[in-house]
Structure 1
Amino acid sequence: MADSTSESGELVTVGRLTAVYGVRGWVKVHSFTEPMDNILQFQKWWLQGEKGWEPLAIDGGKRHGKGLIVHIKDVDDRDVAARFCQRDVAVSREEMPSLHEGEYYWHQLEGLRVISRFGGAEVDFGKVVRLMETGANDVLVVRGGADRRERLIPYIPGEYITDINLEAGVLTVDWDPEF
């Protein structure tokens, strides 16, 4: 199948098929959604292939133990199912639920320029390269800027995160440049 970018629109990676489960075409899914079974609510899945994103039809999915399993439509053989594993799963950005004001998906924050206004001075920290889940709160991993340092900044709006402007591509923080 060819890359269907025009058909799929803008895609967001929401999980990964990891391993086969059983002998009848079921595979384990590592979901990046919160809660994890939200991934099962998406109607149209896309699978990363050698030539781009390919449509992936799922005709069943459920929690199993501490994880999730899904059945790939028309695949009832373990060896065939294995060909789908170790590949990312995405959905169309348009299919993602709307958020309330002040809420953001991680993919919206990745790539934003981070500016600190700690103590009245403005310092460019670089860009958000990824986010980490730590249990207590999410953490921004920021790299670049004039000093080329990597910084881990707790994602706590109103405390360390003072403003997010998606249109301008800027996230403003109150974070000591020396930390």
Structure 2
Amino acid sequence: MRDHLLAVGRITGVYGVKGWLRVHSETHPADNIFTYQPWLVRRDQSRADMQTLRVIEFREHGKGYVVRLEGVEDRSRAETYSHATIYVDKHQLPTLPVEEFYWHELEGMEVFADTDGKAILLGKVAQMMATGANDVMVVRGCEGSPDERERLIPWLAHVVAKVDMARGRIDVIWHPDD
């Protein structure tokens, strides 16, 4: 996958007979997916080709959205996009204030714990997830870490000591045995 692309949602199925599609958004807030145009849609995960599509119209429907895309005028054409992944160019995302990060920027970074003045590699950020209280880093052990454990580390000011984007490193106040 091209480094400049970011998956922001997926087409989950068709809606009606006039070419509308059901969409699940991974953006926050969910309707931000419609501010990023055009969409690059990948229909077949085994193929490298992508198609550029523009949203003509959208509306909330149930727990997601339904959309009408340029050039998709009937149900049979819409069915060709069912279960496709929606990508956008990362450069379309707004610049965040200092010390704020997009989750995709944190994924893959190494996480170090300071234990008795010694930095210990806990692993790499496999993914970020939202919980009711705060965001959480899912950190998986990797080469150089003391074990292969998966750790759930809260993204809280008193836990995350430093984020060094240039070095791909996150320092946390966390005991390796936790």
| TM over 0.5, shorter chain | yes
CA distance in 1 between counterparts of 2:71 and 2:170 reads 45
Calculate percent identity across the aligned residue pairs. 40
Q: CA deviation at 1:119?
A: 4.0
Equivalent residue, structure 1, for 2:60: 63
1:151 is paired with a residue whose SS is: strand
Query: Per the alignment, in what secondary structure is the counterpart of residue 98 of structure 2?
Result: coil
Superposition RMSD in Å:
1.6
Aligned length: 172
Offset at residue 51 of structure 1 (A): 2.2
Q: Report the counterpart of residue 81 of structure 1 in structure 2.
A: 78
Contact 1:47–1:55 (8 Å) recurs in 2: yes
Opposite residue 104 of structure 1, the aligned amino acid is: F
Give me the TM-score of the superposition, normalised by structure 2: 0.90
Give how far 1:171 is off: 0.7
Gaps of 5+ in 1: none
| Cα distance in 1, alignment partners of residues 36 and 18 from structure 2 | 22
2:141 counterpart of 1:147: no
- Name the stretch that deviates more: 43-52 or 104-113: 43-52
Q: TM-score, normalised by structure 1?
A: 0.90
Matched, 1:15 2:12: no
Structure 1's consecutive aligned runs of 4 or more residues displaced over 4 angstroms after TM superposition are: none
SS at match of 1:52: coil
Instruction: Give yes or no for contact 1:118–1:173 (8 Å, CA) kept in 2.
Output: no
1:2-54: per-residue Cα shift (whole Å, max 9, x none)? x9x6xxx7111111111111111111111111110011111211112422332
Does the 8 Å CA contact 1:42/1:91 hold for their aligned counterparts?
A: yes
- Cα distance change of structure 1 residues 23 and 148 upon mapping to structure 2, 3 Å threshold: same
Q: Distance in 2 between matches of 1:178 and 1:23?
A: 56
Residue 173 of structure 1 corresponds to 172
Gaps spanning 5+ residues in structure 2: where?
none
- Give me the whole-angstrom Cα distance separating, in 2, the residues matched to 1:55 and 1:113: 34
